[in-house]
Structure 1
Amino acid sequence: MPEQLDLGIKDSQTELQEAWSAVMRAASQLFRRPVFEGFIRCLSPQRIEGGRLVVAAPSALVKRFVDEKYAPELSEAVEAVFGEPLELQVVVIGANGAKPPAAEPSEPKTAPKFGLVPGSLPINERFSFDSFVVGQCNRLAHAAALAVANDPGGAYNPLFIYGGAGLGKTHLLQAIGNHVLSRCPNKRVLFMSGESFTVQFISAIQQKRMEDFRNRCRGVDLLLIDDIQFIANKESTEEEFVHTFNALYQSDRQIVIASDRSPKELYTSDDRIRSRLEAGLMADIKPPDFETRVAILRHKAAMERASVPEPVLEHIASLVHSNVRVLEGALVKVIASASILRRNIDVNFADEVLGYYFRENRPKPVDVKEIQAAVCREFGIGPEQLLGKRRDKKTVLARQVAMHLIRELTTLSLPEIGRIFGGKDHSTVVHACSKVKALLREDPELNARVRRLAESIAGSAGGE
């Protein structure tokens, strides 16, 4: 496990601010972007006293959400940076350093004529189409989002983007918002999460301000809603969403929705929601393949202005397979550790920093010898041929398939796989895996053989 550092923050406000910046970087990888931008980024450190870290929130609403929902993850980020667990105490501090009145300021009665409307989550300018790394896994979603941004209400309305956590859905939603706001400054844009839609809807009922809420949501030119699955089985919220959807759709105003599941998998009590979401274009985002993961890391390194060798990027890409936020967080952790410890970044250092970090999240590895034996049986060759230097077509293909399966079914890094096959360089493994993936797309028969092999090996390991 990487050594936890004593940053010496207790006697220096400057160092406290620097440490808090590191906490924010870590927290940005733990929280969904709308949550981070709306409730975490606005916090500021005040002091450390008696094992407690006191942080200031700008409003009672933010304090309540942090205390009730987000404190565990934020505490995790604090402990990772400070090297020890600290009790988190959130206080409400106004702009002048004094506690504001208990009552929340009321929302403006009238919304601005254009721009990001009141009640919207912030839209981060960093999330643009230029900063989105496109691969086979997300090409359709990216193209559809760009088309919508160029012609709101005219193409793919509604647009429904779905996929697992950390794959870029929120990035695309905010990219659409940034693109529309920059090209069409007279457009009114509302960016919400399913959670913030629900919270604002309930608050409007309690404060008897439903007319304001409806005017705000239904008077926009572009509605972006992230994590729509949050409203599922909340009957009144679902009903309000349907009416909001209808009002916008019938007046040709653009609706873009994101979710962690397809419309058919949304367990809503109102079938009208599913039917409306399925009426437009549905674009899924799949986990990135190895090449896309490396491209994402390369882009992130450039954004961090860090020089990271290509083998290190490939090594990190081999450790994290699905979540882009975790992938980028792993790279940031390596870069930050190298800076703090004054170490050169190489594969060994990355493994030292990240090995323990990912160990608990990795599945139990499949036995490498079992994979090799299964490949040998399938291709009719002996182990000495598989691990040797023979270059006939059948042996080379079997060797490449074995490398591909070991990378897919185990937690071994690229250098480790290379060592298994007679000390081959990691670049040889990368080439082998890329070659097999290309063949699997082109050759249905080979695709079926490799799929059967993988299922057989995984099933055998699971039954032990």
Structure 2
Amino acid sequence: MQTLFPSHGHDAKKPSPGFDGESSDNWQRIKEALRQMLPEADFQQSIEPLKSRVVSDSEIVLTFPDMSSYQKVLNSYMDQLDYCKATLGLPVLLRFEIEGAGSTEVDADPLDLDFTALNETPQAPAGYPEPDGAFPSDQREASNIVARALTLQSQLNAEYTFQTFVNGPSNQFAHASCLAVADAPGQTYNPLFLYGGTGLGKTHLLHAVGNKVLKTKSNAVITYITSERFMNELIYCLRFNKMWDFRRKYRNCDVLLVDDIQFISGKERTQEEFFHTFNALYEAKKQIVVTSDIFPQDIPDIEDRLRNRFQWGLIADIQPPDIEHRVAILMNKAEKQGMILQSAVAEYIATHAKGNIRVLEGALRRVIAFAALQGRPINVQLASEILQDVLVDKNSDSNISIEAIQKIVAEHFKIKVSDLKSKKRQRALSFPRQIAMFLARVRTQSSFPEIGTFFGGKDHTTVMHAVKKIEKDRKKDLELKAQLEAIERKLDVIS
């Protein structure tokens, strides 16, 4: 496992200045291991000329004859150095300097690789034998060693698979897209962009792709990361001059899975680095899968070149599940916990637990916990008692007014509320007006004539036409879907 964020301070062990020692036994052991890994000509040219100087028991300075030899080792043999240190069990820090550079010290400080994260004995990265075996005579997949080391302790959740995902009409397209990508990574739908509201299963599908690829190709490099951690690692590597390691990690994987990409909004340096990472992987025909709560066009403060790349491949949305789908999800979750849930109880919870899947899971856990603590059977009566103060149907008891909806819609489209009430027919105004009428009908259950009075006295037939049009178009217009979801999330905040 690659330790990008040490728990102790970066400069915990500083060298003792001015201390010269004999040639280190540790360095001799590393050299012997390198000799067995590299072609003899390469070893004699690049490794043998290096001079070593002991600074402390845990630190060695290597001196290069010139800058070109330093660059050669830095670019070609750092993976092998890291591997030898790990397999020999040598927790030493290698510092580099150039001969004739005076007191100037080149501190490469390579990232330590801990291959014992999952096992008592070190395991070799793909392409190399176990430590007690003979090293290969050539360099196999040298550029991927660091990235492959990461898979020894996978960041994937083993429980998130396609088998445990409850497929339904609301997520069928996204499920099929992810399955196609997992079967042929980098060949179809690259990149794959999944978007939908919170708690609808995007992360589950993301992990399912990685798990399926690993199942069919065990030595594949699967890198799962949240956009927040991508940004934090970038900051760390910029601070400690480890960008070479950062790029090796993210540009040498077979599948890159990025969760919640919308959080790079406004982060210019992170966007730039992700842009170059995207390009490197795309050109190498490596699979990229990205999730977001927002449609690409609606992610604010993001570079157009990156926004365009998100739309190069396939965009698949996940909608909130309908009543039958929610019942199926509840039955599946209950079965996993060893419970047999009556269909009537599942239907009661599914009917009253509006919203995302996490709301459903929370309601189910609450019912199961109370039943176990009180020793009562799980039935509709128990569910209604326990959940009466928890599950509230927003539509039946909503605090949202039509005026509030008009304000949110106007802000979203950067127009005035008075424009929504006017008789102007320009599309820039009529389209937001129709959306506001549709949301007023859905979120407040007001009658068509009542809604019409709030829009400058519009006739009820005008409101009916607007509601039907938006209802019909949102099923096939991805951009309209995204607009509605973005506005509804804002309405949920104030409700």
- TM-score bucket of the superposed structures, by smaller chain: 0.5 to 0.7
CA–CA distance in structure 2, aligned partners of residues 410 and 311 of structure 1: 28
SS of residue paired to 1:131: coil
* 1:351 and 2:384 correspond: yes
CA–CA distance in structure 2, aligned partners of residues 264 and 410 of structure 1: 28
CA–CA distance in structure 2, aligned partners of residues 343 and 109 of structure 1: 50
* 1:340 and 2:373 correspond: yes
Q: How does 1:248-397 map to 2 (within 5 A)?
A: 248-359=281-392, 362-363=394-395, 365=397
2:208 to 175, 190, 194: 175
* 1:134 and 2:167 correspond: yes
1:324-349 CA distance string (max 9 Å, x none): 11211211111121111111111111
Q: Contact 1:116/1:189 (CA < 8 Å) preserved in 2?
A: no
1:384-440 CA distance string (max 9 Å, x none): xxxxxxxxxxxxxxxxxxxxxxxx8799xxxxxxxxxxxxxxxxxxxxxxxxxxxxx
Q: Contact 1:170/1:258 (CA < 8 Å) preserved in 2?
A: yes
SS of residue paired to 1:345: coil
Deviation of the 1:112 alpha carbon: 3.7
Gaps of 5+ in 2: 1-5, 10-109, 116-123, 127-146, 400-441, 446-463, 473-495
2:238 to 205, 211, 215: 205
Deviation of the 1:148 alpha carbon: 0.3
Q: How many equivalent pairs are there? A: 278
Deviation of the 1:307 alpha carbon: 1.5
2:113 to 108, 112, 118: 108
Deviation of the 1:121 alpha carbon: 7.0
Q: How does 1:418-437 map to 2 (within 5 A)?
A: none
Q: How does 1:16-27 map to 2 (within 5 A)?
A: none
CA–CA distance in structure 2, aligned partners of residues 449 and 213 of structure 1: 49
Deviation of the 1:319 alpha carbon: 1.5
Amino acid at match of 1:312: V
TM-score (norm 1): 0.55
1:239 maps to 272
- Structure 1 pair 346–409 and aligned structure 2 pair: CA distance change class (3 A): farther
More helix by proportion, 1 or 2? Answer: 1
- Structure 1 pair 266–215 and aligned structure 2 pair: CA distance change class (3 A): same
- Structure 1 pair 259–449 and aligned structure 2 pair: CA distance change class (3 A): closer
CA–CA distance in structure 1, aligned partners of residues 267 and 469 of structure 2: 46
CA–CA distance in structure 2, aligned partners of residues 282 and 116 of structure 1: 31
CA–CA distance in structure 2, aligned partners of residues 280 and 219 of structure 1: 21
- Structure 1 pair 60–314 and aligned structure 2 pair: CA distance change class (3 A): farther
Q: Contact 2:113/2:149 (CA < 8 Å) preserved in 1?
A: no
CA–CA distance in structure 2, aligned partners of residues 214 and 259 of structure 1: 23
* 1:224 and 2:257 correspond: yes
Amino acid at match of 2:160: F
- Structure 1 pair 331–244 and aligned structure 2 pair: CA distance change class (3 A): same
Amino acid at match of 1:192: I
Residue identity over aligned pairs, in percent, reads 44
Q: Contact 1:223/1:256 (CA < 8 Å) preserved in 2?
A: yes
Amino acid at match of 1:307: I
- Structure 1 pair 107–234 and aligned structure 2 pair: CA distance change class (3 A): farther
Amino acid at match of 2:353: V
Q: Contact 1:248/1:254 (CA < 8 Å) preserved in 2?
A: yes
Runs of 4+ with deviation above 6 angstroms:
118-121, 408-411, 449-452
TM-score (norm 2): 0.52
CA–CA distance in structure 2, aligned partners of residues 217 and 451 of structure 1: 42
Structure possessing the higher radius of gyration over alpha carbons: 2
Deviation of the 1:263 alpha carbon: 0.6
- Structure 1 pair 144–156 and aligned structure 2 pair: CA distance change class (3 A): same
CA–CA distance in structure 1, aligned partners of residues 191 and 469 of structure 2: 40
- Structure 1 pair 451–170 and aligned structure 2 pair: CA distance change class (3 A): closer
Deviation of the 1:115 alpha carbon: 5.5
Amino acid at match of 2:242: R
Q: Contact 2:344/2:380 (CA < 8 Å) preserved in 1?
A: yes
- Structure 1 pair 331–450 and aligned structure 2 pair: CA distance change class (3 A): same
CA–CA distance in structure 2, aligned partners of residues 272 and 112 of structure 1: 35
1:194-235 CA distance string (max 9 Å, x none): 111011111111111010010000000000000000111100
1:217-266 CA distance string (max 9 Å, x none): 00000000000001111000000000000000001000000000111011
CA–CA distance in structure 2, aligned partners of residues 140 and 243 of structure 1: 29
Q: Contact 2:151/2:221 (CA < 8 Å) preserved in 1?
A: no
Gaps of 5+ in 1: 1-57, 62-104, 368-407, 412-443, 453-464
1:24-46 CA distance string (max 9 Å, x none): xxxxxxxxxxxxxxxxxxxxxxx
CA–CA distance in structure 1, aligned partners of residues 352 and 306 of structure 2: 38
Deviation of the 1:182 alpha carbon: 1.0
* 1:193 and 2:198 correspond: no
Q: Aligned Cα RMSD in Å? A: 3.2
Deviation of the 1:59 alpha carbon: 5.2
1:45 maps to none
CA–CA distance in structure 2, aligned partners of residues 59 and 121 of structure 1: 19
Amino acid at match of 2:207: Q
SS of residue paired to 2:193: strand
Q: Contact 2:151/2:222 (CA < 8 Å) preserved in 1?
A: no
1:88 maps to none
Deviation of the 1:353 alpha carbon: 1.4
Deviation of the 1:116 alpha carbon: 7.2
Amino acid at match of 2:281: L
